[in-house]
Chain A
């Protein structure tokens, strides 16, 4: 009963976001639309409409309480008016800053024969960062070993510690835990030894996680 169903005219607007868009309104077709409802809050007590507003790479998810009677079609228009122009500017700025970072990275990377990849987790704020694009590309035993290591870190290294493992001929795995933060490193290098790997890990942590405290 309380489903809100909305009909919206599809609109085509002028190419420049800064100019008034009302002028180029060409209604083409009616589209039907219904929002998802989600439960949030402790004990899932509150219900919200989830309104995802997307512009290219940016998406703003807006949550509106379900029992609100005054939710009208015009609200979407308001949201659209408020966000569209600023989001276009943000997109441009983000793209620019990413370009700069990429150039910097390209200059930094030197052709190195060994391959070091890492996964970082922070269980406190759930942050996750990884340089392994797809874990499935790793050999199966390495994937499995990573799982086992996470179990060992959890049970044996409390609150902090590190574990080094050699798997097969070419793979070294190292993991480090410091309170709620965990980092797993996979090094693929022939003829390495523990001291070399240890140095690699130290270097990786100091370049990538310089602002994150790892207990030594």
Chain B
């Protein structure tokens, strides 16, 4: 993706495993995913090797945290250890200012760390822990899975978030809805009834538009899934408002339905009932 050099852009994004690729001539095995795919293999290997080297080097200082950011003139590298042996790395092109000098101040490190965090959380949500996946399906299959997943993720999400990251969209926050006490209790009561009568129902989350009313999940889980749930609701709101626009739908007519993620499943329909 060629873009304006005054803007932050993604130089590369890759995942490597420090257990792989130790033998000479087979260094490329340490790479599990690499974007852009068209990059020369030597360069891919060199990038991953450089990052692994930086991490090892920083370890000698006995810091309690691993190396997270590397600043160079043209690149900003963000390293995130996603599992024991797996690292997720993102490099950003440092934008230039009006006098063509690199403008280092435009990139705020920890915002980009939280973007990587989001990316792995999103992977984990649908695929589970990456280390366990390696044991379960093997390196070859994992590479294919990662390619399928992250090609799509980069295209739909990461490439735009990188350009347009700010305090709010990287915080990963949750918008709670302020309800009065009695209303809140009524919602909780209904959910308790549901869990009582339908014992298969284990956990529930309730949202009003994009705001959270009730969360029955653990804190870490809701942090991972909230963005996804919000997008699901918002996308479906859009599609339902556009599809019902042509009919003379009165306000009293409300539709209850099970939602489908149009991004992940193509061309499927909804279960609809009109109350």
Contact = CB atoms under 8 A, between A and B. Distances in A.
Interface of A: 8, 10-15, 17, 21, 31-34, 36-45, 47-48, 51-65, 68, 70-71, 75-76, 78-80, 82-88, 90-91, 93-94, 97, 119, 121, 125-130, 132, 135-136, 143-144, 146-148, 150-151, 154, 184
In order of increasing CB-CB distance, the 7 nearest A-B pairs are: A128-B173, A147-B108, A52-B259, A63-B203, A31-B269, A61-B205, A17-B275
Contact of B207 (A8, A32, A38, A61): A61
Given A64-B202, A126-B173, A144 B275 contact: no
Q: Which of B173, B255, B272 has the most CB of A within 10 A?
A: B173
B152 interface: no
B164 interface: yes
B252 interface: yes
B271 A54 contact: no
Contacts of A15: 252-253, 274-275
A213 to B, nearest CB: 18
Contact of A41 (B179, B180, B186, B218): B218
12 contacts: A39-B124, A47-B128, A59-B229, A82-B190, A83-B194, A93-B183, A121-B173, A125-B174, A126-B173, A126-B223, A129-B175, A144-B108
Interface stretch (B15-23, B31-39, B260-268): B260-268
A78 B198 contact: yes
Contacts, number: 224
Contacts of B180: 97
Nearest to B251: A56
B203 A13 contact: no
B261 to A, nearest CB: 6
Given A38-B125, A82-B193, A93-B183, A65 B202 contact: yes
Interface in B114-133: 124-129
A144 B106 contact: yes
Given A40-B218, A59-B207, A130 B168 contact: yes
Q: Which of B194, B261, B271 has the most CB of A within 10 A?
A: B271
A15 B126 CA distance: 38
B26 interface: no
B201 A63 contact: yes
A11 B273 contact: yes
A190 B65 CA distance: 44
Interface of B: 105-106, 108-111, 124-129, 164, 166-169, 171-176, 179-180, 183, 186-187, 190-191, 193-194, 197-198, 200-209, 216-223, 225-226, 229, 232-233, 236, 252-261, 264-265, 268-275
Contacts of B258: 33, 51-54, 76
A33 B22 CA distance: 46
Contact of B172 (A58, A97, A126): A126
B174 A126 contact: yes
Q: Is the interface of A mostly helix, strand, loop or mixed?
A: mixed
Contact of B268 (A17, A34, A121, A128): A34
Contact of B190 (A38, A47, A61, A86): A86
B168 A128 contact: yes
Nearest to A146: B167
Contacts of B172: 126
B204 A144 contact: no
B274 A13 contact: yes
A12 B274 CA distance: 5
Nearest to B103: A144
A31 B167 contact: no
A63 B275 contact: no
Contacts of A75: 198, 200
Given A15-B253, A33-B271, A43 B129 contact: yes
Nearest to A122: B173
Contact of A13 (B201, B259, B273): B273
A53 B198 contact: no
A63 B202 CA distance: 6
B86 to A, nearest CB: 14
A134 to B, nearest CB: 9
A82 B198 CA distance: 9
A60 B167 contact: no
B166 A32 contact: no
B190 A37 contact: no
Nearest to A143: B166
A126 B219 contact: yes
